[in-house]
Structure 1
């Protein structure tokens, strides 16, 4: 009987130990408080911009929490299952980078059933979804702002560089690399960039406008097709993000652009380190800083606060807008302020 009792005791201790692994049982933060487990799920790890947001979340932790991080690999079904698993494992709060923004309500219902706070980041749910649950918030940007800043930057530089109008017809013949059909950021960046240029007095003609799913390889292959089709009739390349712009630059370079006076203005969004290098090299005209560092920082700070049962903005400098969202501002980036943009990735 004693041997049985010992075996039973060992088994119970193993179960408790396993539970502690999942829930950070008894783990203490640097400040001596019990560390909450925070579940963080990204729509896909290999998105270049989101990889910087992920690093910023981790860098903001300072041993205050245990972060359980997952990659949804662009599958909303996988993400839903990951949320279920994290809730079952006893996380204290969720931070979700949605695969499909239309699935926010599904995630919210799962969180509501567990009385769990949820912070969405980078991909913005509908305002009605956020307002439906008092423990749901958003961290990101104002999508239209990126388009407006990009459009105004392109308009100014077009006016400053009259030789960009190759056929001297007073019309901007452009191609546009769109991120993703129906994606809120892609739709807003496209619409407001073009509107901002028109508002600055430019006449526009779209030679091509297609979705490249934010990917460099797509940007490269699409640019390849457009050069073959339109040749030097293309006067401007607009991209919803730097990844696609970098792909386009690779294709343009292979066709002799940026050498011996043959030039093509290319504009992106994100101010990724690789894009900044292309600005220095004279191959990208400009981009828009999408501040990954502060998006990650705000996401962690908000999620940590609600996981600890505190007020969401406790001890931070962030503010909510009317939609319970923290908005991290965009900034135009050219060769003139490139050092400022580089600081966002340190």
Structure 2
């Protein structure tokens, strides 16, 4: 009963954060604005999120704004745009934010390929820039270092998340996974996005970690789910309808893992028994699914720590201090063994609602 109570508390807290994010009726083209007094109360910060409807980025954005407000920034001066997963829209939003006189930019890029153009716009206008969640290319990051740009990336190493997914699968054991007893793990891979660095690393390292442990694998389906639950459901359901029965579904994020669970259930199969599913992010619904046995495990993409470090990096720049060009955070494995610990950590680590209503 105590475990369930803690679970419901976490679900309620995180669901409230998501609802709060939705309550402002955010549209992709219009900014969210709206505070508190302090030394930063007159400072303008512009934020672009690749797609504001993304559940994980909603949690990230809410925590980011709340933390900035807790440090004295005015909510009226924190302008947040959703970029509708479009590079051209994001670039126009960056230009608009610069024209509006922002003092700093925090950007979740649509793709790594758009980062160079965003960097050039920020640097040419003397505006410090912090990238979040989606890492630009190594070549782009080297450019920041070579030219001393006030640009940094805050995020986790996606290779680690792939490795942790592989380890979560290995923890299940070959005897448990190998339902047909052929000594080979048949699997579906549902990838995030074609040009996304994180998606590529998660795909590569999850599989290589399992194979490097001596487990033979056979990929029955490898499709792009665009980080979306419904798309993933359709892809997995189509694979099952063709008679492809995997023992494992590896998804680059939790939204797609939840979609895979939906498809498995609609196919009259039992997730966590007939087919195992793993994801990345530790969304509140995924935490509940782990508790229920529908999802074998996920990897906590610590949006609380990342958003705080991104805001701290902005403040360092505003104070005239520099930052490392790469500010890293660690992922954490989540399974039935430690889900209670992770839930309590999430519940106790946030910055509070901070009056946030975007």
Normalised by the shorter chain, which TM-score bucket? 0.7 to 0.9
255 and 33 in structure 1: CA distance in 2 versus 1, 3 angstrom threshold:
closer
| Paired residues of 2:247 and 2:274 also in contact (CA < 8 A) | no
Q: Does 1:311 align with 2:324?
A: no
**Counterpart mapping for 1:77-88 below 5 A:** 77-88=88-99
In the TM superposition, residue 305 of structure 1 has moved relative to its aligned partner by 2.7
34 and 290 in structure 1: CA distance in 2 versus 1, 3 angstrom threshold:
closer
Q: Does 1:330 align with 2:341?
A: no
Find the partner of 2:154 among 131, 135, 139. Answer: 139
In 2, Cα distance between equivalents of 1:270 and 1:183? 16
Partner of 1:93: 104
Q: Does 1:176 align with 2:189?
A: yes
In the TM superposition, residue 63 of structure 1 has moved relative to its aligned partner by 5.3
In the TM superposition, residue 100 of structure 1 has moved relative to its aligned partner by 2.0
Partner of 1:268: 279
In the TM superposition, residue 273 of structure 1 has moved relative to its aligned partner by 0.6
**Counterpart mapping for 1:1-346 below 5 A:** 29-30=37-38, 32=39, 35-61=42-68, 62=70, 64-65=72-73, 66-133=77-144, 134-159=149-174, 162-231=175-244, 233-258=245-270, 263-306=274-317, 308-312=318-322, 320=324, 324-342=325-343, 343-344=345-346
In the TM superposition, residue 312 of structure 1 has moved relative to its aligned partner by 4.1
| Paired residues of 1:138 and 1:325 also in contact (CA < 8 A) | yes
Count of aligned pairs between the two proteins: 307
Greater Cα radius of gyration, structure 1 or 2: 1
251 and 33 in structure 1: CA distance in 2 versus 1, 3 angstrom threshold:
closer
SS in 1 for 2:338: helix
Q: Which runs of 4+ in 1 moved over 6 A?
A: none
SS in 1 for 2:218: strand
- Runs of 5+ consecutive residues of structure 1 not aligned to the other structure: 1-21, 314-319
In 1, Cα distance between equivalents of 2:321 and 2:243? 56
| Paired residues of 1:152 and 1:200 also in contact (CA < 8 A) | no
In 2, Cα distance between equivalents of 1:34 and 1:224? 50
In the TM superposition, residue 238 of structure 1 has moved relative to its aligned partner by 0.8
In 2, Cα distance between equivalents of 1:45 and 1:34? 25
In 1, Cα distance between equivalents of 2:171 and 2:292? 21
SS in 2 for 1:230: coil
Greater RCO (CA < 8 Å, at least 6 residues apart): 2
In 1, Cα distance between equivalents of 2:238 and 2:123? 48
| Paired residues of 1:303 and 1:312 also in contact (CA < 8 A) | no
| Paired residues of 1:104 and 1:129 also in contact (CA < 8 A) | yes
- Runs of 5+ consecutive residues of structure 2 not aligned to the other structure: 1-30, 351-358
